[in-house]
Structure 1
């Protein structure tokens, strides 16, 4: 066995060592799956979930989904945090969920503007556990049929402890709460139960192997069993299905050969095939390990994702979508693409590097990222440019605000301000909301841009 990968604070995730002569059947993306952000539950269902006790969450319908929830609730130290986690899950605070062997991660929105990175870790199965599990599945055709029908038989799950028990799930979060779990990790756990309901193969991925890898191995074992049964029925020695790469099977066909003279003869080669069609979406990068002396996994993921997205856009349009940005604008865009940047040690290092590249401080970068998320390049311009707008929308803004019972705004160039609130008119004609502590000139972008200053102010005050 090759050594296990170990991340500080998390369980060891063993690398799978292929047996000699066996070709790895998995696809490049088979061990990383990302599911879109779950939609918020209806108001009545969300209220019911937040009011219920442990086990009464309504997020899981299958027995294995409820077993996943029970594993976390069985080791939780604070029922109040679980209740807040259920409420967060029902209100749609959980972003897209990514599942890799031994890890489930997502960004979860809390009370602060920047979301937190929450994760649930669990042990992956060893080779002996997988052998036991796959043998049990291949021995029962009804087990394979149940898996293909998105069902998990109880006997199969018990064959190798496929489902977690209380204490097996290790929650973690970038928020300052040291509860086990905090409300953000609890929200992720509840939403993950719904994913397991829809696709139980995610359980196999959590334990170390992807769906295509499992199905390919079950197909091979099923063929071996069928060959053995056929040999026994004919009265001969039990036949075995050779594995890819096995050289000792007497039934394996001889390798095809060609004369050297024929191989070296000049011949007209056929034309090249037409180019492949451009995929609808850029590919996902692989999972990068974290190890001493290795490059930072976050930086590698950032570079790979960025390269894939830009290459995909160039293939589709023939133009680089970010080619016109300067160094500072591109640094802000890259930082804004990672919602958890600046919250952990690795992401703080990323913020520091990007700020240094743009000749700014990390605080200036954080403020610029908030402006970018508020309005993109136009939002960044509203943060950094102070200009004199022409007469028209700006002159009509103060009477409109006064009519809506906001009479205390004072103009200065393209800005209308009170001691703690500010509206900035961008060159795109939209009003951008800002907030500051009273008496301090420390303005931060807030709310949603709007053509109407009253609308922009309303979204700002609604927070």
Structure 2
């Protein structure tokens, strides 16, 4: 008597309408260095061959939803069963003391916050983390946990792999998501950086100002233009000079720049010309 497989049989993948689709239609997925770095890290763990299984899923829009919170990414991925599979990718978040060190280091570099706000991950941010004895991206597979509700025992399965690719593209859109995945959301991190930078500026101002006991003799003296470094007090300043200090204003009225249209009005305010 021949043996027959009595387990469940699954048909073709159920196609999804309006699913989350990867923007990349061919080749590698990831438009920025930090999203490509994330994929490279996963490949370095020996996942490269298995990752490619989910690339078509990511491009076909089989992922129904993707949510990222502190330390956890959860996706619903439509496979061959009617019920979508739940794919989860967890990462070890930094501790509060570690984040305090990171925040002080970031606050000390105004360019870092400016680049993050502009949607760009600073090119040398991994060096900053390394100087603190930390790594922004996982250093080993032990720092990550992947699981899926599908019956495939391989990790990552194609559902997890599709989630990884869409996660990389979400990093393209917002580099703050990498930091949120490690334990600090955008608003919390920015508020902390603003506080730290404000405190640093206040300390610097106190250090620059001389103590009152050292300037009692001159504190009440009338300040002159030269002592205030205001330039030559007899110099004539054009009333329309303020217009020349403006950055280029991309506003035109009947093909004329708005600054050129305002200049006659300022010139009309010259002494002796007021009505």
Higher relative contact order (CA 8 A, sep 6+): 2
Residue in 2 that maps onto 1:95: 64
Compared CA separation, residues 37 and 100, structure 1 to 2 (3 A): farther
Compared CA separation, residues 198 and 84, structure 1 to 2 (3 A): same
Q: Deviations over 1:239-294 (max 9, x none)?
A: xxxxxxxxxxxxxxxxxxxxxxxxxxxxxxxxxxxxxxxxxxxxxxxxxxxxxxxx
Q: Could you tell me how far apart the structure 2 residues matched to 1:115 and 1:230 are?
A: 58
Residue in 2 that maps onto 1:61: 31
Residue in 2 that maps onto 1:38: 20
Q: Deviations over 1:24-76 (max 9, x none)?
A: xxxxxxxxxxxx9523657xx2xx34xxxxxxx2x211111112112222223
RMSD: 2.1
Residue in 2 that maps onto 1:226: 201
Helix, strand or coil at the partner of 2:45: coil
Q: Could you tell me how far apart the structure 2 residues matched to 1:175 and 1:225 are?
A: 52
Residue in 1 that maps onto 2:268: none
Q: Could you tell me how far apart the structure 2 residues matched to 1:108 and 1:72 are?
A: 20
2:160 paired residue among 185, 200, 211: 185
Q: Could you tell me how far apart the structure 2 residues matched to 1:236 and 1:72 are?
A: 57
Q: Could you tell me how far apart the structure 2 residues matched to 1:182 and 1:145 are?
A: 38
Segments of 5+ residues of structure 1 without an aligned counterpart are: 1-35, 50-56, 238-463
1:133 paired residue among 93, 97, 102: 102
Compared CA separation, residues 67 and 166, structure 1 to 2 (3 A): farther
Residue in 2 that maps onto 1:210: 185
Asked whether the equivalents of residues 21 and 62 of structure 2 are also in contact (C-alpha less than 8 Å), the reply is: no
Q: Could you tell me how far apart the structure 1 residues matched to 2:45 and 2:73 are?
A: 18
Deviation at 1:209, TM superposition (A): 1.7
Deviation at 1:93, TM superposition (A): 0.8
Asked whether the equivalents of residues 78 and 179 of structure 1 are also in contact (C-alpha less than 8 Å), the reply is: no
Residue in 1 that maps onto 2:138: 164
69-78 vs 212-221, which deviates more?
69-78
Residue in 1 that maps onto 2:269: none
Asked whether the equivalents of residues 89 and 144 of structure 2 are also in contact (C-alpha less than 8 Å), the reply is: yes
Residue in 2 that maps onto 1:269: none
Deviation at 1:156, TM superposition (A): 2.9
Segments of 5+ residues of structure 2 without an aligned counterpart are: 1-17, 213-275
Q: Could you tell me how far apart the structure 2 residues matched to 1:236 and 1:227 are?
A: 15
Q: Deviations over 1:411-457 (max 9, x none)?
A: xxxxxxxxxxxxxxxxxxxxxxxxxxxxxxxxxxxxxxxxxxxxxxx
Deviation at 1:97, TM superposition (A): 0.7
Helix, strand or coil at the partner of 1:96: strand
Deviation at 1:77, TM superposition (A): 4.8
Residue in 1 that maps onto 2:88: 119
Asked whether the equivalents of residues 45 and 140 of structure 2 are also in contact (C-alpha less than 8 Å), the reply is: yes
Compared CA separation, residues 223 and 191, structure 1 to 2 (3 A): same
Q: How do residues 41-440 of structure 1 correspond to structure 2 at under 5 angstroms?
A: 41=23, 45=25, 48-49=26-27, 57=28, 59-77=29-47, 79=49, 81-158=50-127, 159=129, 160-167=134-141, 168-236=143-211
Compared CA separation, residues 199 and 78, structure 1 to 2 (3 A): closer
Asked whether the equivalents of residues 118 and 171 of structure 1 are also in contact (C-alpha less than 8 Å), the reply is: yes
What's the TM-score, normalizing by structure 2?
A: 0.64
Compared CA separation, residues 155 and 136, structure 1 to 2 (3 A): farther
Q: Could you tell me how far apart the structure 2 residues matched to 1:212 and 1:198 are?
A: 16
Compared CA separation, residues 77 and 66, structure 1 to 2 (3 A): closer
